Amino acid sequence: MVSKGLLRLASSVNRRRMKLLLGIALLAYAASVWGNFVNMRSLQENGELKLESKIEEIVEPLREKIRDLEKSFTQKYPPVKFLSEKDRKRILITGGAGFVGSHLTDKLMMDGHEVTVVDNFFTGRKRNVEHWIGHENFELINHDVVEPLYIEVDQIYHLASPASPPNYMYNPIKTLKTNTIGTLNMLGLAKRVGARLLLASTSEVYGDPEVHPQSEDYWGHVNPIGPRACYDEGKRVAETMCYAYMKQEGVEVRVARIFNTFGPRMHMNDGRVVSNFILQALQGEPLTVYGSGSQTRAFQFVSDLVNGLVALMNSNVSSPVNLGNPEEHTILEFAQLIKNLVGSGSEIQFLSEAQDDPQKRKPDIKKAKLMLGWEPVVPLEEGLNKAIHYFRKELEYQANNQYIPKPKPARVKKGRTHHS
């Protein structure tokens, strides 16, 4: 009995213990489940945080790209006039990324026309017209005019040709091809689409003139085998081609004989007297004068030229017209004026005369005045100050190592850079 009682007591104690142990085990299990759960949560949270920051790392540059794209879509263009369909012209400018061509592009775009610039970027640069890129009235085509071009246009300003001596002498054969084959291609295009073509000819067709000032009926004095012949004779034959197409094919042509022009966007190493003197004065280097400095030049500011080109294109004058500023100065006067405007202490250095360097160059612009109602209006000092400001900025960019697409170097193979 006693033993049975003891057994029962023992088993009831064991059951209680068992229950207690079971309870503890359950609690421990629950605690471990809870612990794991909490651990998993925090692991998950950490993981989520890491994932989020990884995503952020990838997304942020994309967001930046979208912002840039949005900015480029909402780019502010210079103000453009609205022209009705009837007045709005489709205009091709060959060499439109060059010095003169880019200013002409600005004028025609702002006047409300549709402008297509064709350029092979030999001496031009995209930066000159980049402020129009993306505009619905503007198109830029990388094309060499020596190859044919098929495009629908109403007017063609044919400017494609290197213009400064070091550039056109670098590859005389290419200069000849551009001015001959290139001009034939553009005249062919004008004929095909019934467009009017304006040729940017040059005062160089007068060569080293025996008459002074030079009027349009002067036939010129050009050395056909000299170092400048590729350009001078190239332009002379380009004029001949224009009149052959006019007479034989009825193409409407305009010929501008452009005299020395200067202004912002000129090439840093253009090699002509204005840019040479400004850069030398700004950098405190001697201003180099070839010969005695008594040879004369007359310079027009680029905005005057652009107005003259547009007036000529829209006139009914099909014979050649001089566009230039008749205000004549000796090279030495230019050197002194530029030195003073820059406020430079540079000396003036005399070097030996350059071959075939014309002694006198001054346009007779009676015809332009009479038939186009055009004459230059920008005073020399005002224009020079604008050009000086431009060159000063370019030098600053270079000094600060800021990225600027470099103008094509003035490539001189033989001989030396000399004034035009």
Ligand X SMILES: NC(=O)c1ccc[n+]([C@@H]2O[C@H](COP(=O)([O-])OP(=O)(O)OC[C@H]3O[C@@H](n4cnc5c(N)ncnc54)[C@H](O)[C@@H]3O)[C@@H](O)[C@H]2O)c1
Separation between Cα atoms, residue 216 and residue 201, nearest integer Å? 12
For tokens 């085509």, what's the residue?
141
Binding segment for ligand X among 19-27, 30-38, 114-122, 280-288 (CB under 6 A)? 114-122
User: What amino acid occupies position 398?
Assistant: Q
User: Of 140-159, which residues contact ligand X (CB under 6 A)?
Assistant: 144-146, 159
Applying CB under 6 A, among 91, 153, 162, 331 the residue interacting with ligand X is 162
Decide: is 119 part of the binding site for ligand X (CB under 6 A). yes
Q: Does 261 help bind ligand X (rule: CB under 6 A)?
A: yes
Beta carbon nearer to ligand X, 176 or 287: 176
Q: In a 3-state reduction of DSSP, which class is residue 336?
A: helix
Question: Which residue in the set 105, 116, 155, 178 belongs to the binding site for ligand X (CB under 6 A)?
Answer: 178
358 binds ligand X (CB under 6 A): no
8 Å CB contact between 231 and 173: no
Nearer to ligand X, 114 or 144 (CB): 144
Query: How are the residues of the chain apportioned to helix, strand and coil, as percentages rounded to the nearest 5?
Result: 50, 15, 40
Would strands 300-301 and 348-351 be described as parallel, antiparallel, or unpaired? Answer: unpaired
Q: Judged by CB under 6 A, which stretch of 8-16, 96-104, 273-281, 342-350 contacts ligand X? A: 96-104
Q: Which is nearer to ligand X, 301 or 346 (CB)?
A: 301
Site for ligand X contains 122 (CB under 6 A): yes
Is the preceding peptide bond at 213 cis, omega within 30 degrees of 0? Answer: yes
Q: Within 10 A of 215 (CB to CB), how many other CB atoms are there?
A: 13
- Say what the alpha-carbon torsion angle 132, 136, 137, 143 is, to the nearest 10 degrees: 70
* Residue 323 sits in the site that holds ligand X (CB under 6 A): no
From the CB of residue 52, how many other CB atoms can be counted at a distance below 10 Å? 10
Determine the size of the site formed for ligand X (CB under 6 A).
28
Q: Work out how close the CB of 51 gets to ligand X at its nearest, in angstroms, rounded to a whole number.
A: 52
Amino acid sitting at position 76: K
**Side chain identity, residue 57:** E
Instruction: Decide if residue 185 touches ligand X (CB under 6 A).
Output: no
Task: Give the single-character DSSP code of 78.
Answer: P
Site string for ligand X, 197-236 (x = CB under 6 A): ---x-x----------------------------------
Give least dist CB 394 to ligand X, A: 14
**Is residue 101 a contact point for ligand X (CB under 6 A)?**
yes
Catalytic residue from among 157, 170, 231, 390: 231
Contact status: 260 vs ligand X (CB under 6 A): yes
Say whether residue 99 binds ligand X (CB under 6 A).
yes
The string over 392-419, giving b where at least 16 C-beta atoms fall within 10 Å of a residue's C-beta and e elsewhere, is eebeeeeeeeeeeeebbebebeeeebbb
Q: Nearest-5° angle of CA 32, CA 37, CA 38? A: 100
Cα separation, 16 vs 5, in Å, equals 17
- Per the annotation, the verdict on 231 as an active-site residue is yes
Which of 97, 273, 282, 313 binds ligand X (CB under 6 A)? It is 97
Task: Report, as residue numbers or ranges, the catalytic residues.
Answer: 231
Given the rule CB under 6 A, which residues bind ligand X? 94-95, 97-101, 119-124, 144-146, 159-163, 178, 182, 200, 202, 258, 260-261
